[in-house]
């Protein structure tokens, strides 16, 4: 089709039915095979965040068959947001007479079937208008403020709000224009001089190197990493569904606990396979997705296996005492079996409803991990006792020797021969 040029389109396609989503994708890819298309099923997936403005897209396509009231209401709500990308509302029904009044930022396309020619023309028009609008916005003095995170300017990421802070970084909710989604943006205190060998920054780099090289459904997605205004930053997946700690406030069935154990073990198998330990596995570092999958995050304490001695030359204790392996709590050399012990504590807590060891002080908890017997397993959990003891043995030699071995045991328990 002539006249559409070779611009790479970035589109967000929202549909009430999966077949409509696929149909729109097919029409778009006929013209733009390299189009970047992000998809969302209205009603079946979590609602778009109120702070999301789709600014990284050329257009947002919403398609619905009768009844179309919900999709129309949704489209009008998004169009009312300041600076939201232009919306093409495809209503697979005959046009009413008279048609509704025009709405800024919203174009309606009626018809029982999608008219490809008209759709593509609308996309081109919407894209052109959006780019002109963005050009005008960039000319305003206040435009730069959207990319400011404290004192740091990070272009391509629209700051929404600060959501947390730590010793090494401040944490923000942001919209990534390139990823086309909300992200968690960690902005680190500074980029140290190489000669300083600041431990926190080295761990940050390791976090990126670990995760960016993996494409695993149970490991957090990393969207961007960079340096701006002498500060390092990393943009990663946002988890509006929260973490496992919050989920564990409600009882979990044994079957659910086992299913979550399997997913976390799969994540550990992936990171261990590239020679990396997590070192701080706990429920707060296991995030939930709306589809039921979980994702392992926060590799800020992770270190390569061959780098067991800290950068200062002395061994250090990292992690959370409730979930530390005996050897980690005593600053001994650790390996992948230490992460498995931590996972055992998480599984025990998911299954039984409380931690295996508690104490008035961190040192008391660390002592119990090393010396106290594992509490007796109630008969109703007897089926899982082999997993628990295989994870929570005091000696690493008596535990599962790898995440792969653990996964084999889990699957044998789920599907006995």
pLDDT of 407-416, one tens digit each?
A: 999 999 988 8
What does the pLDDT look like over 188-227, one tens digit per residue? 876 655 444 455 566 656 667 777 788 899 999 988 888 8
Q: At what angle do helices 336-352 and 403-414 cross, to 10 degrees?
A: 30
d(CA 381, CA 172): 41
Mean of per-residue pLDDT scores for the chain: 88
In order of their start, the domains of the chain are 10-138 (3.40.50.2300), 148-237 (3.30.200.20), 244-414 (1.10.510.10)
pLDDT score, position 274:
87
pLDDT band of 44, cuts 50, 70, 90:
confident
- φ/ψ bin of 316: left (φ > 0), alpha (ψ from -120 to 50), beta (otherwise): beta
**Residue 307, pLDDT above cutoff 70:** no
Which ranges of 213-253 does DSSP label H, i.e. alpha helix? Answer: 244-247
Of the candidates 165, 153, 172, 148, the one whose C-alpha atom is nearest the C-alpha of residue 230 is 153
**Residue 313, pLDDT above cutoff 60:** no
**Strand residue runs (E) in 122-166:** 148-149, 152-153, 157-165
Contact between 219 and 267 under an 8 Å Cβ cutoff? The reply is yes
What does the pLDDT look like over 237-292, one tens digit per residue? 999 899 999 999 999 999 999 999 999 999 999 999 988 889 899 999 999 998 88
Q: Which of 16-25, 96-105, 301-310, 338-347 has the lowest mean pLDDT?
A: 301-310
Q: Residues 22-50: what's their mean pLDDT?
A: 90
d(CA 343, CA 347): 6
Burial class (CB within 10 angstroms; exposed 0-12, middle 13-18, buried 19+) of 147 = middle
Contact between 299 and 206 under an 8 Å Cβ cutoff? The reply is yes
pLDDT band of 319, cuts 50, 70, 90:
low
pLDDT score, position 191:
60
- Chain-centroid distance, C-alpha 59: 24
Q: Residues 93-110: what's their mean pLDDT?
A: 95
pLDDT score, position 301:
53
Contact between 127 and 59 under an 8 Å Cβ cutoff? The reply is yes
**Residue 304, pLDDT above cutoff 50:** no
Q: Give me the active site residues, please.
A: 280
The three-point CA angle 208-210-212 to 5° equals: 60
- Neighbouring residues of 52: CB distance < 8 A, sequence distance ≥ 6: 175, 181, 182
pLDDT score, position 2:
39
d(CA 312, CA 331): 14
Tokens of 277: 């330990």
Residue scoring higher pLDDT (298 or 396): 396
pLDDT score, position 298:
82
d(CA 125, CA 129): 6
pLDDT score, position 179:
86
- Find where tokens 């232009």 sit: 86
The predicted model scores a pTM of 0.82
Q: In this structure, is the dihedral angle defined by the CA atoms of residues 24, 28, 34 and 36, taken in order, positive or negative?
A: negative
Q: Residues 117-136: what's their mean pLDDT?
A: 91
């Amino acid at each position: 089709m002539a006249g559409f040029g070779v611009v790479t389109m970035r589109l967000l396609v929202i549909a009430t039915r999966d077949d409509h989503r696929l149909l729109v994708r097919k029409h778009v890819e006929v013209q733009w095979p390299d189009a970047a298309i992000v998809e969302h099923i209205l009603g079946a997936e979590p609602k778009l965040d109120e702070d999301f403005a789709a600014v990284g897209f050329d257009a947002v396509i919403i398609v619905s068959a009768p009844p179309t009231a919900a999709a129309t209401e949704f489209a009008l709500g998004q169009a009312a947001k300041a600076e939201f990308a232009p919306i093409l509302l495809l209503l697979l029904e005959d046009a009413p007479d008279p048609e509704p009044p025009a709405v800024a930022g919203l174009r309606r396309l009626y018809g029982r079937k999608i008219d490809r020619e008209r759709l593509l023309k609308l996309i081109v028009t919407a894209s052109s208008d959006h780019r002109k609008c963005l050009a005008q916005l960039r000319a305003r003095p206040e435009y730069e403020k959207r990319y400011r995170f404290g004192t740091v300017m990070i272009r391509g990421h629209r700051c929404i709000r600060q959501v947390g802070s730590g010793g090494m970084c401040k944490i923000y909710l942001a919209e990534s224009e390139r990823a086309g989604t909300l992200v968690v943006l960690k902005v680190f205190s500074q980029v140290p001089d190489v000669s300083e060998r600041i431990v926190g920054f080295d761990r940050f780099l390791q976090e990126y190197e670990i995760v960016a090289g993996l494409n695993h459904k149970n490991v957090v997605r990393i969207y961007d990493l960079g340096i701006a205004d002498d500060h390092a930053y990393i943009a990663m997946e946002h988890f509006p569904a929260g973490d496992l700690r919050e989920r564990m406030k409600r009882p979990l069935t044994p079957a659910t606990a086992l299913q979550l154990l399997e997913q976390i073990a799969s994540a550990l198998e992936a990171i261990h396979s590239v020679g990396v330990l997590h070192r701080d596995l706990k429920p707060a570092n296991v995030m939930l997705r709306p589809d039921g999958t979980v994702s392992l995050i926060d590799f800020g304490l992770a270190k390569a296996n061959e780098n067991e001695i800290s950068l200062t030359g002395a061994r250090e204790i990292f992690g959370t005492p409730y979930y530390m392996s005996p050897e980690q709590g005593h600053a001994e050399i650790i390996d992948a079996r230490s992460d498995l012990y931590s996972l055992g504590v998480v599984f025990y807590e998911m299954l039984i409803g409380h931690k295996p060891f508690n104490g008035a002080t961190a040192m008391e908890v660390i002592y119990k991990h090393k010396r106290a017997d594992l509490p007796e397993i109630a008969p109703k959990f007897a089926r899982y006792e082999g997993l628990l003891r295989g994870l929570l043995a005091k000696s690493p030699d008596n535990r599962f020797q790898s995440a792969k071995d653990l996964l084999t045991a889990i699957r044998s328990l789920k599907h006995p021969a």
